[in-house]
Structure 1
Amino acid sequence: MTVISSTQNRYVKLYRSLEKRKIRIQQNLVPLEGEKLIRDAIERRVLPEVVYLREGLTPEEFPFLQALESQVPVLSIAEKLFDRTAFTDSPQGILAVAPRPKSDLTDLFVKKPALLLVADGVQDPGNLGTMLRSAAAAGADGAILLPGTVDATNPKALRAAMGAYFALSVVETNHQDCLSALAGHGVSLVTTAARAEVAYDRYDWNTPVAVVIGNEGSGVSPAMAEAAKSRVSIPMAGAVESLNAAIAMSVIFFEAARQRRKLV
């Protein structure tokens, strides 16, 4: 394999351009870093359009690449250039560019009863990625990302999600369309509140439900707070007043999963 060492190489420039959300949306592409993330994408039939290997590595060292068609470029990138091209500190010697999965609101209501995450202005990519990972692990059907929420294809969000982005239907939409879709499918909206009378483990999660997690600083938007049918709290001991948004979301979703397992 010829080793690429120029920053002007079109594939190198393509990858670096995907650091910007606008370019990811325009190109309909996602940057992937690390063996697990790329393998998970391929296993879910999201096939890369180009693969980058750090100089010295070969395709044979990554058996999952055998699923790619022969015309997909697999490039060898000089070590220093590879490290400068990657967005993370330890991409494990492999990067890829893949098509952005397409989902719409109808994809979220295939299973009954629905269990959905609604991210309402979540800005930290690590938090969003962790939420997607927890949602997938708890058996959720998908996630709705409202305006002000970080892009789920942000490299840090993808890294934190650990492949969950490809396991869920993830839809970006506005508040009105979100509420209309939930109401049309009989899905109740639930938010969290420190002083809510109903504790999260006393709520009946066996019904169709969407859990709203708001901005890390300002919380749930007025539109979603007003539309919520219920509010739940997470009782805490000691002097702790609140949990990180992703942790609170995980606590709730695994309680929902626990209750739903009893129905099976």
Structure 2
Amino acid sequence: MTVAEPSHISSRDNPLLKELRKLAHDPGAYRKAGRIWLEGDHLCRAARARGVRAAVAVFTESAWPAARPEWAGAADKTVVLADALLAAVSGLESPASMGFVLDLPAPPPIAADWPTVVLDRLQDAGNVGSILRSAAAFGFAQVIALKGTAALWSPKVLRAGMGAHFGLRLVESVGIEALDALTVPCIATSSHRGEWLHRTRLPHPCAWLMGHEGQGLSAALEARAGLQVRIVQPGGEESLNVAAAAAICLHASASTAGG
């Protein structure tokens, strides 16, 4: 297959650069654009490893000669920018030398019987991305983000997810009624009531419900849970960070399933 030569961009007013600036700095811009910006070779490799083909691959002039043997043909179109232009787009303290523009995946239907994590109005992008990583690591292949949760494909969530997005079925910005499609039992976490996690026989598959950093689960969502659990904290802290709690709970589920 003949690989087309890359396009070279030297103007900061180029339409692609204007699009990249929006995608890199506006958490919800991808919804309107229908495209996602992945910055850095780690995320690009994670997408490529899952068979995702980029619409556009972007490289700095200094990086392209060494990158060409590996990355030529990795996208429908390749562009090369002056280093300063890509640095001006970047949302990172240390700008990367490459990135991918991907078409936003079509919203999938909810899989009724998959191991699932439900996110209820989580605000912190780092927490959301960390939970996606834990979900992927522990076999919870579906994540449902209710309305009010940080945008799943935003740059900060993508960076915190470290490539987990591409191994997950992601359903976002849905109302609580969408959970009617689930047939697996729901489990709620609490800092002060419920059964102790380490003593509980956990159902598998199941859906773990993870709530807002300060307010926890909404009453309506908590009412859907057939089981409530809490994590033992002998150190006496009032509560755990939601991402830490999710990792503990999902690991416990994976251990139950494996045992």
TM-score of the superposed pair, with normalisation by structure 2: 0.90
1:98 maps to which residue?
A: 102
For residues 168-196 of structure 1, give each alpha carbon's deviation from its aligned partner in whole angstroms, at most 9, with x where no partner exists: 00002110112x112xx2x1111111222
| Equivalent position amino acid for 1:84 in 2 | A
Cα shift at 1:66: 4.3
2:154 maps to which residue?
A: 154
Cα shift at 1:208: 2.8
Figure out how many residues of one structure are paired with residues of the other and give that number. Answer: 252
SS in structure 2 of the partner of residue 75 of structure 1:
strand
Q: Kindly report which structure 2 residues correspond to 1:191-210, keeping only aligned pairs within 5 A, or say none.
A: 191-210=188-207
Cα shift at 1:249: 0.3
Q: Kindly report which structure 2 residues correspond to 1:156-171, keeping only aligned pairs within 5 A, or say none.
A: 156-171=156-171
Cα separation, 1, equivalents of 2:178 and 2:156: 27
Q: Kindly report which structure 2 residues correspond to 1:97-176, keeping only aligned pairs within 5 A, or say none.
A: 97-106=101-110, 108-109=111-112, 114-172=114-172, 173-176=174-177
Cα distance, 1:34–1:225 mapped onto 2, change above 3 Å: same
Identity of matched residues, %: 31
SS in structure 1 of the partner of residue 48 of structure 2:
helix
Cα shift at 1:209: 1.1
For residues 86-144 of structure 1, give each alpha carbon's deviation from its aligned partner in whole angstroms, at most 9, with x where no partner exists: 122234311111011234234x34xx6x3211000001111000000010000112100
1:27 maps to which residue?
A: 33
Cα distance, 1:161–1:28 mapped onto 2, change above 3 Å: same
SS in structure 2 of the partner of residue 26 of structure 1:
helix
Unaligned runs of 5+ in 2: 1-5
| Equivalent position amino acid for 1:12 in 2 | L
Cα shift at 1:21: 4.3
Tell me the C-alpha RMSD between the 2 structures.
Answer: 1.9
Cα shift at 1:222: 1.6
Unaligned runs of 5+ in 1: none
1:243 and 2:249 are equivalent in the alignment: no
- Asked if the contact 1:53–1:77 (Cα under 8 Å) also holds between the matched residues in 2, the reply is yes
- Asked if the contact 1:190–1:232 (Cα under 8 Å) also holds between the matched residues in 2, the reply is yes
TM-score of the superposed pair, with normalisation by structure 1: 0.88
SS in structure 1 of the partner of residue 223 of structure 2:
helix
For residues 20-73 of structure 1, give each alpha carbon's deviation from its aligned partner in whole angstroms, at most 9, with x where no partner exists: 34431122111101111111112222211111112211165265524525xx22
- Asked if the contact 2:87–2:96 (Cα under 8 Å) also holds between the matched residues in 1, the reply is no
SS in structure 2 of the partner of residue 228 of structure 1:
coil
